[in-house]
Structure 1
Amino acid sequence: MGERIYLYDSTLRDGAQAQGIDFSVADKQAIAAALDAFGIDYIEGGWPGANPTDDAFFAALPATKRSKISAFGMTRRAGRSASNDPGLQDVMAPGTPAVCLVGKTWAWQVETALKVTLAENLRMIADSLAHVVAQGREAHFDAEHFFDGYKANPQYALDALKAAHEAGASWLVLCDTNGGSLPSEVRKIVATVREALPTAQLGIHCHNDTEQAVANSLAAVESGVRQIQGTINGIGERCGNANLIALIPTLMLKMGFDTGISAEQLTHIGQLSRLVDDRLNRAPNRHAAYVGASAFAHKGGLHVSAMAKDSRSYEHIDPALVGNSRLVLVSDKAGRANILSRLEQMGIDVAADDDHISDLVKAVKDSEALGYAYEDASASFELMARERLGQLPHYYDLQSFRALNECRIDGKGKRFTVAEATVKLTVAGQQVMTVAEGNGPVNALDAALRKALTPHYPQLESMHLNDYKVRILTPSEATAALTRVMIESRNDDGQTWNTLGVSHNVIDASYNALYDAITYHLMKSGAKSVG
Structure 2
Amino acid sequence: LNGLGERCGNANLVSLLPTLMLKMGYETALSREDLRHLTHVSRVVDERLNRAHNRHAPYVGENAFAHKGGLHVSAVEKDARSYEHVQPEDVGNARKILVSDQAGRSNVLSLLKEVGMTIEASDPRIDRLVRLVKEREFIGYTYDGAEASFELLARRELENLTPPFELVSYRVMDERRMTETGAPFTLAEATMKVRVDGELHMTVAEGNGPVNALDRALRKALLVAYPVLVDMHLVDYKVRILESAAGTGAVTRVMLECSDASRRRWTTVGASSNVIEASWQALSDAIVYKLWHDAHARGRA
Using structure 1 for the length normalisation, give the TM-score.
0.54
| Residue in structure 1 matched with residue 199 of structure 2 by the alignment | 430
- Say if 2:109 is the partner of 1:334: no
State the secondary structure of the residue aligned to 2:205: strand
Residues 311/412 of structure 1: CA separation in 2 closer, same or farther (3 Å cut): closer
Tell me the CA shift for residue 239 of structure 1.
Answer: 4.7
Structure 1 unaligned spans of 5+: 1-231
Of 29, 36, 39, which aligns to 1:267?
A: 36
Work out the CA distance in 1 between the residues paired with 2:257 and 2:79. 33
- Partner of residue 243, structure 2: 474
**Distance in 1 separating the partners of 2:69 and 2:171:** 41
Task: Indicate conservation of the 8 Å contact 1:422/1:448, yes or no.
Answer: yes
2:22 aligns with: 253
The amino acid that maps onto 1:433 is M
Question: 1:391 deviation in Å?
Answer: 4.2
Question: Displacement of 1:378 after TM fit?
Answer: 0.6
Higher-RCO chain (CA-CA 8 Å, sequence separation at least 6): 2
Distance 1:491 1:481, change over 3 A: same
Question: Of 281, 302, 320, which aligns to 2:89?
Answer: 320
Match of 1:519 among 267, 279, 288: 288
Report SS of the residue matched to 1:498.
strand
2:154 maps to what in 1? Answer: 385
RMSD between aligned alpha carbons? Answer: 1.9
Query: After superposition, where does 1:66-465 map in structure 2 within 5 Å?
Result: 232-236=1-5, 239-410=8-179, 413-465=182-234
Distance 2:181 2:41 in 1: 52
Q: Which has the larger radius of gyration?
A: 1
Residues 373-431 of structure 1: CA distance to partner in whole angstroms, max 9, x if unpaired? 21111100000011110242431221110000122345555543221111112221212
After TM superposition, give the deviation of residue 279 of structure 1 in Å.
4.5
Aligned residues: 297
Kept in 2: contact 1:380–1:516 (CA 8 A): yes
Q: Which runs of 5+ in 2 are unaligned?
A: none
In structure 2, C-alpha distance between the alignment counterparts of 1:236 and 1:290, rounded to whole Å: 20
Cα distance, 1:244 vs structure 2: 2.1
Please say if residues 393 and 523 of structure 1, whose CA atoms lie closer than 8 Å, have aligned partners that are also in contact: no
Shift of 1:354: 1.0
CA distance 1:275–1:463, shift in 2 (3 Å): closer
Residues 13-67 of structure 1, C-alpha deviation per residue, up to 9 Å, x if partnerless?
xxxxxxxxxxxxxxxxxxxxxxxxxxxxxxxxxxxxxxxxxxxxxxxxxxxxxxx
* 1:228-270 C-alpha deviation (Å, 9 max, x unpaired): xxxx333456654433222211222122221131111010112
Q: 1:272 Cα deviation (Å)?
A: 3.0
How far the C-alpha of 1:443 sits from its partner, in A, is 0.8
SS at match of 2:2: helix
TM normalised by structure 2 equals: 0.92
Q: 1:236 & 1:412 partners in 2: Cα distance?
A: 42
Which range moved further: 514-523 or 385-394? 385-394
Residue in structure 2 matched with residue 486 of structure 1 by the alignment: 255
Alignment partners' CA distance in 1, 2:4 and 2:183: 45
Identity value in percent: 57
